[in-house]
Structure formats: structure tokens, C-alpha cells
Structure 1
Amino acid sequence: MNEPIRDRLVSLRRSLHRHPEPAWREFATTARLVEEIRAIGVDELAVGPDAYDPADRMAVTDDDLEPWIERARARGADPAVLERMTGGNTGAVAVLERGEGPAIGLRVDIDGLFIEESKREDHDPVSEGFRSEIEGTMHACGHDVHMTWGLAVLEAIAESDFSGRFVVFFQPAEETSGGGCPMAKSDFASDLDYLLAVHVGLDHPTGEVIAGIEKPLAMCHVDLTIEGTSAHAGKAPNEGANAMHAMGTTIENAYGIPRHADGMTRVNIGYAEAGSASNVIAERAHMEAEARGETTELMEFVKERLERTARSAARMHGCQATVDVVSESPRADSDPELQALVSEVAEGVRGIDRVVPAADFGASEDATFLMERVQADGGLATYLIVGTDHPTSHHTPTFDVDERSLAHGVDVLVETIRELERRHPVPHIDGVPESVGAEAERTEAEGRE
């Protein structure tokens, strides 16, 4: 544990990769982070409910947490840390107080996915011996890399002559959009001058850096439940209220929600179940859906139409619908001031051979809660991408990263933080600098070719 993190980036990332835990179950992961943070030495360390208000959490799981707690205990997790995470309140915030200077936040996410990792011999985690040890769960989106970056950057800043306040958010439950909101509402997010959020890969190759994303889609996860009345399908089908039929109508009509003139919208019902037997009129149906929009307002438009569709379909078939918004996240764009600064820094980082100041994101991320909070308080925020060669896409069983990107990410983030310290206060500007806009236009044009 005394060996500097910078000298064991690969081994740390692989260790984290072997033990993925899904949203609000990151017990062993948080305990490991706390162990590493304590070894670094910080001025404040908050775990679980000390880092945020549990009432602000979204997409809280109903599953039994005990097996995950027991697995963490068996791995040697500190019992006192596990006790602080009672009820699934995972995650941590680390703070360095280093006198006068800017307040800078860094957000990294920590949860894994319910994906069975490939057992193919040509999958590097298999051949190199760091495949997930938790069956059915995998770090298939690079959050093992993100945690490694967060710890390494924290260590580097702690050992430097940095002057200011540095806050690292080790955020749980990103994959379900459940953890960004409570972190953003916490006191740790107050009065930040700058916020950096970061992701690995996303189809950008090793050696490329995207200094800031634009147009992340606002998003909501919605659970739809329809309650009907069962009956004998042969003897008296007329006595039932068919929840499955109402479900089918909901699905068909949901995809008929009109697009909007103000921008891009999305709707999808990705999971549906109903019924118990071929001769029984289904009395209950359940669907899991999502709505997205180019702006928060457009997402709200689709969400409202989706809810109306489900309730109307249920009434049509004599049933009742319950709509539960499980989680959601707003749109928040990166600030051009930070895009320009990160671009300038990344140009001088060894191993980075291409810098793109801005690019459309096209997906959703609950880091936007923190970005929105900082921007509303007058600060600046950016969500940057550090490229990596990954053999298959994110959220697939054979996802992996080029481990050269570990050092790239640390260097870009550390140098950006030090440059923010030197230049503080970075002046706000109106619109995108000409160099940023021109490069973004060139990138878009290249993508069309």
C-alpha cells in the first residue's frame, strides 16, 4: 500500500476490474477506495451518508444487499466502513484543503454492470488473469479506469505544492443515474470554481483527448406497471381486464409519440413482462422504459407523453397504470473556457497526438447534475474524454482498454488542475472561442466524409 499509485496504475486498475459491483452495492469497492485514500492522506474523507443525503438517491435497489456486504466482508473490508454504508449508501468524497486558491472538483464513477464478462482466451482480462471474479457482473464501461485516475490524481495533488481546495467525488450508481443527484446536492459541491468529469474511450482512440462534450441527452428511467383482473381465458375471458393487452397497446403507442420540432427526442421500452399461463388472462404487466431529449425540456415532453400513453392504454382495457420515475438526469454542456484550457494542456501531454476541443456526446450521463450545480453557482465545468483503443464497444462482454491510457488520463487531469490553479480566476467568455468552434466544425465535417 506504500508504493505510489503512479507506479502501480495497471495493477490497481486490474485489481478493481476483478471485483465489480453494481449500483448501490459498491461495498468492497468503496472500502478499497477508502483504504487507498487514507494511505494518501487527505483533510476530509466522507463515506456514504456523510458524503450526501441518502434521501436524494435515485434508482435505489430493492434487492437483498446482504450477499454483497458479505462478499465485501470476506475480502477484508473494514467493518467500520461497511457499517457506515448500511442500506446501500456507497461511495465517498475526499477533500484536500491547501490554503488560498481555487476550489476544484473531480468526479469519477465507481459502479459496474450486470454483464457476464467473456471467457474467451483472446480477451486480455482472461489471458492476463484479471477477469471479473463476480459472475454476472463486469466493469464493462471503464469505471475501473476512472477510479484509478481519481486516486492517482488525488495522490499527485496531495504530494504537490497545490494551493486551494481539491474535492474528488467517487460517485456510485452512475449506470442507473442514481448517484449524481445526491452528490450534486451535497455541501461538498458548494462553491466549486471548477468541475472536471472524465470518461475513458467512447470510441475515441488511444492518444486522443476530447476537451469537452456538448449536447448530452437529458434522460429519465421510467417503470410502468399495469394492474388488471385475471380470468379463465377459455371459460370467461370477458370477465378479465387484460394487463398484457394493455401493455401491448402501451408499447405500440409509445413508439408513436411524435418527434419534436425543437430537437432530438428518444423513447424506448427495453424490458416487458406479463402473464402467468396460456389459459389465464394476465392481471399484471411491468415495463421498464426510458425517455431522452436534446434538452431537459424535450426529455420532459417525452416523459409526460409516455406517462399519458401508459395511463390511456390501461384505461382502454379496463386496467390501471402506475408510473414511477426511477431516475433522471439533465442536460449540461461543457463550458468553452474549460474546453479551451483542457485543449491547451492536453496538447503538451506526452502520448497525446490529437486534441478535439469539443464533440457532441449523444448519450446521457448523471455527471450533468454536478456540472449544472457548479455552473448555477457561477463556476465552470467540463466533461472530457481520454481516448483508448477498446476491442469492442462499451457495455459488451469483451470490453477492455488500452492501459497506456491510464497515464494519459492522470497527466491530462493533473496538469489541467495545476493550470487552473495558476490561471484562477479563468474569465468567463461569451460563446465558443473561434479556435474551438473551427476545430469542432472540422471534426464534424470529417465525421460526415
Structure 2
Amino acid sequence: MAESIRERLSDVRREFHRYPEPAWCEFHTTHRLVEELRAIGVDELAVGTEVYDSDDRMAVPETDEIERWYETALERGADSGLLDEMAGGNTGVVAVLDRGSGPTVGLRVDIDALFIEESTADDHAPAAGGYRSEGDGTMHACGHDAHMTWGLATLEAIKESDFDGKLVVFFQPAEEVSGGGHPMAESRFADDLDYLFAVHVGLDHPTGEVVAGIERPLAMCHLDVTFEGTSAHAGKAPEKGDNAMQALGTAIQNAYAIPRHSEGMTRVNLGKAEAGTASNIIAERAHVAAEARGETTELKEYMKSRLTRTLKSAAEMHGCDADIDVVSESPRADSDPELVEVVADVARGVEGVDSVVPTADFGASEDATFLMERVQEEGGLATYLIVGTDHPTSHHTPTFDVDERSLKIGVEVLTNSILAVAPNER
């Protein structure tokens, strides 16, 4: 019999860490998850379009990018038949245990990585320990390698327990671009969930601390904007051009002047911009990647509408057109107090936990809120908990790492919380 996940938590997490893949390109990752899930033994296993509607995905990369990662997974030994099921970037997997007439419980973990080149410094544990990223310019710099490990180990522990009910574990792609939460929330596997647990590691909470539920995640949207103008000779006939570069500059300046709202926190950022081809050519095209956030979904919509108006006005001012694509977005959803209380009570009894924080502001955005929102709208309870870890630098940096003592803590908190809402009364 294969060694259990719970006896090799560090090894599992480190393998995921070595092979990071970005949103909708998690081919090798999904392959490895399926291998482990088959070894555990589940009642239902669904991959890609068996889980969700492919057309419902958001922030899907270009075809050539998807194909590059597909070929890399094939070279790394991923099962070709399974890869065919994920063709076109339909990654991710859902596993189901059906163990009685009790409640249906969901657990959501995310699986994608970031476009960050991991540090090679001697004092960076993955580099020193031989499990640094082997992906080209990609890295698990947000702890999703730990999240997947928790998902597998918790599923295994629940299978071996006296759990009475149904457990649905969502191994969700494309969280970093807020692209996978909505398809998962609209899938049949999200039907009739009585409880949902989502989880994150760290987030500036130290090893031994557990936050039982987050509050105030920011609703957000990502926009891709292309300004289309008219090129001209910058010296001979500048007046004949419609300058997309000027439209871009005006948009950047004016976006940050959008009035904030009296009813809560709002954010706007234009994080990536490019334009033009040469110093003597009036730029006919410019591109900017932008985002808007709000403390509530309504405030996000306010910022989104104001940002869209600002972008279009900047284009019109300089005789250009603005093509605005809403790449992805996610709502706000808060943890339910009743489920927060369950997690807090459980965490106080877990070895290694020395501090339990009932709730904390999240301050960022998360597309797990789509699943949370659906569960709550249908009468269920949801919480998004944080298992602290001592990370040497911030998330989304080349030297981010996870204190592996947190792996066991996370499994026990999740397992015991699931058992607490589905007690065996047989």
C-alpha cells in the first residue's frame, strides 16, 4: 500500500512546488492530482469540462501559451489520455466522497502559480533543498502548493474517518487571474452544498495562528484595454496622426483622479502599459492592463463604470477608439459567523495552534467568493479560513516560502472542521 499523503506532506508539497504552472495551463499539476486522488480512492472524479462549462472560463491565455504548457506537461510524463481531456486549457479536478445521508460539504483549494522567477539565493529554502521551481519564469509564490497538499490530505483523512455525508473537493484552476471561481461555482458539483470551506496559507499570519473566517474581501475586476489611433510621421505630418500614446497617458493620469466613494474602500490601478513602435512614428496602438476594486460588489461596479468612462473619454479626446475587455471579476462574500465559530472551536484543540483569531479583514480579492456566494444564496454556510505560516518575505515575491509545520496544522483544522459539521449519528 502506498504511503499516505499525511505521512509525506512535505514531499507532496515540494513536488508541486517544483512544477508550477500558470492559470489554465495546470496540465502536469492536474495530472499529479488525479494520480494521487486515484490512489486515495474516491467515488467520483471529474476533470476539466466534466466539471464546468469551458465557455464560462475567464482570463484564458492565448492558444500558443496553452499549447506550450501542454507540451511541457507531456515531456514531464503526464498521461497523454488525461491531457487530451484537458485540451484547450480545461484544467482542474473535482473529487467526491459519498459517505452517507449527512450534509454535503465543499472544500475549495486553488492550484495555479504566478509568473515570477524564483530566487536562487543560498538562504532560500527551495533552492537550498533542491525543490526550486523548474518552470520557466513561474513560481508557487502564493502557497497554492500547500493548498493542494491540504486538499489531498484532508480528503484522505475524511475517507478514513466516520464522516457521514458527501465531501466535494474543488481543485480550482486560475485563481491568480480570478478566472476559475465562477465556472466552479456554476458547476453541478456546487449544487446543494450545505457547507463550504475555502482556505489560504500565511497572509502575514504566523505559524500557529488560525483565522477562522475572513471578512471584507474586495470585489474586483480586471480590464484589458486597447487604444486604436492613426499612425503618422512624427516630424513631417504629426497632425495627421491620432496618438494612441497620448490617449494612454491621459487615461493613466485621469484614472487615478476618479473620486473615491463615501460608502467604503475603493481601489484602481493601471499596472501594465505599452505603446508605439519608434520615436519618429505617432503611435497607432497602445495597451493597458487595469483593475478596479471595491469593499462591496456595488462599490466595485461604481469603480468599474467610472474607470470605463475615463478610458473611453481619454480615447475620444485624442481621436482614438478604446476597446475594453473585462477579463475577469469576482464579488465580495463574507464568512458566515456560525461556521467561523465551528472552525475557531476546532482550531483551539489542534496541536501547534497557539492563537485563534475569529475573523480578520482580507484586504485583497479572491474568486472563491463565487462559490461562497452561491452556497450562501442557497441557504448554506461558507467560510474562508487562514492557516498561518512564517513566510520569510511577502506573497508574490521571488523568496516567498511556506513553513512546513503549517501543513499538518492545516490538515487537522480542515479535517476536524468538516467532521464537526457532519457528525456521525449512525
TM-score, normalising length from structure 1? Answer: 0.94
Query: Is 1:40 the equivalent of 2:31?
Result: no
Aligned equivalents of 1:423, 1:75: Cα separation in 2: 42
Equivalent positions of 1:58-69 (< 5 A) are 58-64=58-64, 65-69=66-70
Tell me the amino acid that sits aligned with residue 261 of structure 1. Answer: S
Aligned equivalents of 1:359, 1:8: Cα separation in 2: 31
Three-state SS of the structure 1 residue aligned to 2:291 is strand
Aligned equivalents of 1:68, 1:266: Cα separation in 2: 33
Tell me the amino acid that sits aligned with residue 18 of structure 1. Answer: R
Aligned equivalents of 1:127, 1:366: Cα separation in 2: 33
Cα drift, residue 63 of structure 1? 4.5
Q: Which residue of 2 aligns with 1:361?
A: 362
Q: Which residue of 2 aligns with 1:21?
A: 21
Equivalent positions of 1:126-275 (< 5 A) are 126-275=127-276
Post-superposition CA distance 1:89-140 (Å, at most 9, x none)? 0000000111210100000000000000000011000111100011200000
Residues 106, 197 of structure 2: 8 Å contact kept: yes
Q: Which residue of 2 aligns with 1:57?
A: 57
Three-state SS of the structure 2 residue aligned to 1:357 is strand
Post-superposition CA distance 1:306-326 (Å, at most 9, x none)? 110111111111111111000
Q: Which residue of 2 aligns with 1:311?
A: 312
Residues 164, 424 of structure 2: 8 Å contact kept: no
Q: Which residue of 2 aligns with 1:427?
A: none
Aligned equivalents of 1:23, 1:200: Cα separation in 2: 19
Q: Which residue of 2 aligns with 1:437?
A: none
Three-state SS of the structure 1 residue aligned to 2:293 is strand
Q: Which residue of 2 aligns with 1:442?
A: none
Cα drift, residue 67 of structure 1? 2.0
Three-state SS of the structure 1 residue aligned to 2:290 is strand
Cα drift, residue 215 of structure 1? 0.3
- CA RMSD of superposed structures (Å): 1.0
Tell me the amino acid that sits aligned with residue 196 of structure 1. Answer: F
Aligned equivalents of 1:299, 1:380: Cα separation in 2: 24
Q: Which residue of 2 aligns with 1:384?
A: 385
Post-superposition CA distance 1:32-81 (Å, at most 9, x none)? 00000000000100000001111110001114122211211122211111
Aligned equivalents of 1:360, 1:315: Cα separation in 2: 39
Query: Is 1:76 the equivalent of 2:71?
Result: no
- Larger mean Cα displacement after TM superposition, 54-63 or 318-327: 54-63
Aligned equivalents of 1:16, 1:272: Cα separation in 2: 32
Three-state SS of the structure 1 residue aligned to 2:8 is helix
Tell me the amino acid that sits aligned with residue 168 of structure 1. Answer: V
Aligned equivalents of 2:153, 2:264: Cα separation in 1: 40
Aligned equivalents of 2:68, 2:175: Cα separation in 1: 21
TM-aligned CA distance change 1:269 to 1:423, over 3 Å: farther
Tell me the amino acid that sits aligned with residue 293 of structure 2. Answer: R
Aligned equivalents of 1:229, 1:32: Cα separation in 2: 49
Aligned equivalents of 1:417, 1:240: Cα separation in 2: 63
Three-state SS of the structure 1 residue aligned to 2:423 is helix
Tell me the amino acid that sits aligned with residue 54 of structure 1. Answer: S
Aligned equivalents of 2:98, 2:349: Cα separation in 1: 28
Residues 99, 166 of structure 2: 8 Å contact kept: yes
Cα drift, residue 208 of structure 1? 0.1
Tell me the amino acid that sits aligned with residue 188 of structure 2. Answer: D
Structure 1: which 5+ runs fail to align?
425-449
Three-state SS of the structure 1 residue aligned to 2:257 is coil
Query: Is 1:3 the equivalent of 2:3?
Result: yes
Equivalent positions of 1:386-425 (< 5 A) are 386-422=387-423
Equivalent positions of 1:278-357 (< 5 A) are 278-357=279-358
Q: State how many pairs are aligned.
A: 424
Tell me the amino acid that sits aligned with residue 403 of structure 1. Answer: E
Cα drift, residue 197 of structure 1? 0.1
Aligned equivalents of 1:74, 1:212: Cα separation in 2: 41
Tell me the amino acid that sits aligned with residue 301 of structure 1. Answer: Y
TM-score, normalising length from structure 2? Answer: 0.99
Q: Which residue of 2 aligns with 1:436?
A: none
Cα drift, residue 422 of structure 1? 2.1
Three-state SS of the structure 2 residue aligned to 1:410 is helix
Three-state SS of the structure 1 residue aligned to 2:267 is strand
Tell me the amino acid that sits aligned with residue 162 of structure 2. Answer: D
Cα drift, residue 223 of structure 1? 0.7
Runs of 4+ in 1 over 2 A off after TM superposition: none
Aligned equivalents of 1:134, 1:383: Cα separation in 2: 29
TM-aligned CA distance change 1:35 to 1:183, over 3 Å: same
Cα drift, residue 159 of structure 1? 1.5
Q: Between the two proteins, what is the percent identity of the paired residues?
A: 72
Residues 162, 424 of structure 2: 8 Å contact kept: no
Residues 335, 382 of structure 2: 8 Å contact kept: yes
Three-state SS of the structure 2 residue aligned to 1:273 is strand
Aligned equivalents of 2:282, 2:424: Cα separation in 1: 68
Tell me the amino acid that sits aligned with residue 14 of structure 2. Answer: R
Tell me the amino acid that sits aligned with residue 197 of structure 1. Answer: A
Structure 2: which 5+ runs fail to align?
none
Residues 268, 292 of structure 2: 8 Å contact kept: yes
Tell me the amino acid that sits aligned with residue 166 of structure 2. Answer: R
Cα drift, residue 156 of structure 1? 0.7
Three-state SS of the structure 2 residue aligned to 1:328 is strand
Aligned equivalents of 2:87, 2:46: Cα separation in 1: 14
Tell me the amino acid that sits aligned with residue 34 of structure 1. Answer: V
- Larger mean Cα displacement after TM superposition, 415-424 or 202-211: 415-424
Three-state SS of the structure 1 residue aligned to 2:193 is coil
